[in-house]
Structures are given as C-alpha cells and as structure tokens.
Structure 1
Amino acid sequence: MRASLIQLGVDDDEPVAARRERAAGLVRAQSGSDLVVLPELWPVGAFAYTSFAAEAEPLDGPTAETMSRAARDAQVWLHAGSIVERAADGPMYNTSLVFSPTGALVRTYRKIHRFGFDQGEAVLMGAGDRPVTARLPETVVGLATCYDLRFPELFRALTDAGAQTFVIPAGWPERRREHWSLLARARAVENQAYVLACGTAGTHAGVRQAGHSVVVDPWGEVLAEAGHDEEVLTAVLDTGRVAKIREEFPALKDRVLGR
C-alpha cells in the first residue's frame, strides 16, 4: 500500500479558503497513492483558538466538499485531517474526515483527548466518546489525533477493534518534537502496527510546528521521516507484515491487564 502524508504548511497570513484549495491540489497530485493523509486542523491551525468559532463548519461544509472532490479526482482514500466541526446541536469538535475514492465520507472521528489543560481546545471543544476504525482494501485503520498519541489505552482499544495501521494527523509544536517521534515509535512497537503520523509545517498563532511527519513499521523501524518544511512524505507499506510480526513475536497474546 502506497501512503502519502502531506505535511502542509499552516501560516496566519494564508486565508483559509486559499489553503483549502492548495491542499486539494496537493491531494490530487498524489493520484498514484492508495492512501493520502492531511494534518490536524489545517484549515485554521491547531493553536489558533480565537479563530475556531468563526471557522467552524458542519460535516458537509466547504472543507468536506473540497476534500470529497479531491479524493474522487485522485481516486485515493483520503484522511483529510481534521476540521473544527460545528455540530447541529451547537458544540464544536475536533473532527477527522475519511473519504473513499468515490468521494464518499465513510468515517468521522471526534478527538477524544483535548489538549490545553483547562484552556484552549480543552474548554472550547467537546470530546469524542469512542474509538473509530475504518476498513480499507489493504488494512484496517485506527483513527487518532495529535494529543491522543500520549494515551496508549486508546491505541490498545483500536488494536482490539482490529486496527493494523494507525493514522494520526497532528498540529504538534516544535518544542515537544522529541516526544512526537518517541511516542509514534512506541505506539507502533507496543501494538505491532504501522503508524502514519502527519504533522504540520510553518508557524501559526505564534507556535512553530514540529513537522517531522513519520511512517513507522510494526517493528518500530522508521520507514520515512520529513523535515521541518512543507513536503509530501511517501512510503510503501507491506500490510502483510503486521500479521507476520504478530505471529512471530506474539507479545499481544501475553496481555494480562485490560483483557
């Protein structure tokens, strides 16, 4: 399976509508891939809290419409990162969108662990209440977002639900970049699964982004890693390797707690 992670630059001086169209163009350019991934909250910026309410949109809003067309045009599965979702009953959520190659919205995931320690996202947005997986032709994908990466119990629940590949869009800050790299590998090793972790580049709301999107295999080996700047990171995944490693080194069978 060929996967492409679009480490999109998110800067305050680019209008949301312009970035939306630019992202769609980058998705269309990956037409040879099977799966394309965008970062967390790329339309507005993960730390641009003061803009969340103004840029919030429904699940059939302009970002979803634009990404649906891009997925269909490129004939790819598209994890379109996440948007500030305005639910019909009022609350906002950090919601990921997954589109099929026909452009159909097949899965949504509301971020469970909200970042901010009683401020920012943690108080502005509601929390998701369940793990979500999506079945692609080549693999079962477990969905998580940014700060979720720090909570291994979510990834174990996704593994129990059949996940073989974790897709993690993020707006991770540069000052904690070492945590990003370490945790991505840890989640891969402990669950014997692929990790596709796609972050943003640039600086928004005064927060420099870590970049360094990464693809990790189920043995914990880094297959590809980006730098700081905007780029497209592509790797070929041997999806049969998950079952092979789980069979040859069956650590998951020795679990005692959390069964």
Structure 2
Amino acid sequence: MKKIKIAFLHLLPLAGNITHNQQLIEKALTLIQDKKVDWFLTPELAVSGLQFSKKFGTNWINRQPDEWMTNFIKLVKTVNVNVFLGCPEKSADGKLYNTVFVINRSGELIGKQRKISSVTDDWSTSGEFIEPINVEGSKVGIVICADAYTNHVSNTLLAKGAEIIIAPSSWGPGLHGPNGEWEQRSVETNLPFIVCNRTGEDETVSFWEAESSVIKNGKRLLAYQSKQSAVVTFDWDLDRNELLSKEFEVLEML
C-alpha cells in the first residue's frame, strides 16, 4: 500500500484581487505544514478567480514563474508538499493560458497542463499538449474544469499512461453546471477523479453550492461544499487507487 494524504483548497477567491487570493493560498499552505500532506490541490485559476478579466483585465499576467510564484515555490519546499496550482500564464510569444502548474516538494516546477477548452475563457488560448506528469512515481493526469465535458482529454491521458486524474475546477451548479461529466469520465477511463472545486461567486457565476469531490467508478465517494475557504484532507492508496478515509478532515480558514 502506498498511502498518501491529499488536501483540497476549497477556495473563496475574489475575482481580480490577485494579492488577496495569493495570500489565501499561502495561508492554506502554512495551515497544512504539520499535517504531513503529500499533494495540495487548488481549484482552477485560484490565483485570479474565474472571471477576473471582466474586472481587472489581463495586462498583469506574467510568464511563469514570476516573482510571486518563485517565492511561493520556496514556501512549497519549506512545507514539504507537492502542489497543483491554478494560475494564468503568458507564453514567450505573448499568448495567455489557463494553466495548472505542478511544483514538487523539493521546490521544482516539474510540469504544467494548459486548459484545452477555452470556450468560456474569452482571454485564453487553448493548450496544445496533453501529458501526464510524474509526481514521485505516479503518472498524474490533469483535466481542468470544462475539459471534462468530453472524453478527449481524459482518454488521451489514459492512453499516455495516467494512473489518476486531478481535476482543478471552477464549476458551480446551474444552467451550464456539472451534470455527471466527472463521473462519466471516471467510468470510461476506469481512473479516479480527484475534483478540487471552489466556493463564492464571480461576476455572473455562483459557486456557493459547488463541490470538491473524490470520484471512482462513476460514484462520488466524498463531497464537500462550504461558504468560506477551507482545506479538506483525506487519505488515498495510490497502489490500489482506493479511498482510505471515511470522511474529510476539514481545516477552516477563518
């Protein structure tokens, strides 16, 4: 059995308030410092909020790692955890992407996945590459929010050897809310989906009832929603891809 502890940051970000969101992420990371967490997950666009461009524009988006992420990587090393961080980025040719970065516990930026579907992101460019990332011997696939609408991304990750799927999301209930997509993708791939969602609201979207969840074989084994930022943790067996915890441990961020 290869037991690891996984933490969700079920975040209440403020769209466009970059400094506020960065400070919340840092606070959450320090909160788990003594919890022996192995993987720390943030939702999609944790640094910016989903609809930041309507309030704050895109001129602030940098090539990564910028000054803040460089300092954040040092904090990651101090806490001794692997982090999946949702943050916009600018490429060398000036294109903008909705990206999840993977930072290992040694303080190394070991990979990233750019969101493939950009239909709802009027500022971002669709990513071109879909590859699992090796995190301490486990091949981890990343499916960012609406990339779960179809089976393209998840099936590609499966074909390339992914053993587990991380799904950083900003996806709340409503007209275009999740309707069994994560569950269906888990059935098709026979891989667990670890969904890190968020709470709060942006300009036109509400996330108050959005759930972070652990999904396997089409079933939600654990689910969590809240009205404030919180860190929730659970234990997972990587060898057998099985949930070990009966419930989440919740660390509220007051």
The match for 1:190 among 188, 191, 202 is 188
* Distance in 1, Cα, partners of 2:167 & 2:137: 18
Gap runs ≥5 in structure 2:
243-254
Of 43, 60, 83, the match for 1:39? 43
Structure 2 CA distance for aligned equivalents of residues 22 and 186 of structure 1: 32
Report deviation, 1:141. Answer: 0.5
Q: Give yes or no for contact 2:21–2:48 (8 Å, CA) kept in 1.
A: no
Q: What SS does structure 2 have at the residue aligned with 1:166?
A: strand
Check whether the contact 1:223–1:235 (CA below 8 A) recurs between aligned residues. no
The question of 1:172 aligning with 2:190 is answered: no
Cα gap change, 1:85/1:207 in structure 2, threshold over 3 Å: closer, same or farther? same
Instruction: Please give the alpha-carbon distance, in whole angstroms, between the structure 2 residues aligned to 1:176 and 1:239.
Output: 35
TM-score, length of structure 1 as denominator length: 0.83
Percent of residue pairs bearing the same amino acid type: 19
SS of structure 1 residue aligned to 2:222: strand
Alpha-carbon distance in 2 for matches of 1:106, 1:57: 18
Query: Which residue in 1 is equivalent to 2:88?
Result: 84
Distance 2:58 2:139 in 1: 33
Contact 1:24 1:66 in 2 (8 A): no
SS in 2 for 1:241: coil
Paired residue secondary structure (1:237): strand
Between the two proteins, the alignment pairs up a number of residues equal to 234
Q: Distance in 2 between matches of 1:54 and 1:173?
A: 27
Partner of 2:138: 139
Question: In structure 1, what is the equivalent of residue 75 of structure 2?
Answer: 70
What secondary structure does 1:208 align onto?
coil
Residue aligned with 2:93, SS: coil
1:146, 1:46 → 2: CA distance? 11
Structure number with the higher strand fraction is 2
Letter in structure 2 aligned against 1:106: I
In structure 1, C-alpha distance between the alignment counterparts of 2:68 and 2:203, rounded to whole Å: 21
Verify the 8 A CA contact 1:142 1:163 in the aligned structure 2.
yes
| Distance in 2 of aligned mates of 1:27 and 1:177 | 31
How many angstroms apart in 2 are the aligned matches of 1:107 and 1:125? 19
Q: Deviations over 1:26-56 (max 9, x none)?
A: 0232231110100111222112223341331
Q: Kindly indicate whether the alpha-carbon contact (under 8 Å) linking 1:44 and 1:52 is maintained by their aligned counterparts in 2.
A: no
Q: How large is the Cα RMSD of the aligned pairs?
A: 2.1
**Which AA in structure 2 matches 1:189?**
V
> Any residues of structure 2 matched to 1:91-240 within 5 Å, and which?
91-116=95-120, 121=121, 123-137=122-136, 139-176=138-175, 179=178, 182-209=180-207, 210-217=209-216, 219-229=217-227, 230-240=229-239
- Is the 1:5–1:232 Cα contact (8 Å) retained in structure 2? yes
SS across alignment from 2:147: helix
Contact 1:9–1:202, Cα closer than 8 Å, also in 2: yes
**Is this contact kept in 1: 2:5–2:38, CA < 8 A?**
yes
Shift of 1:164: 1.2
Unpaired segments ≥5 residues, structure 1: 244-259
AA partner of residue 223 (structure 1): L
1-structure distance, mates of 2:38, 2:102: 13
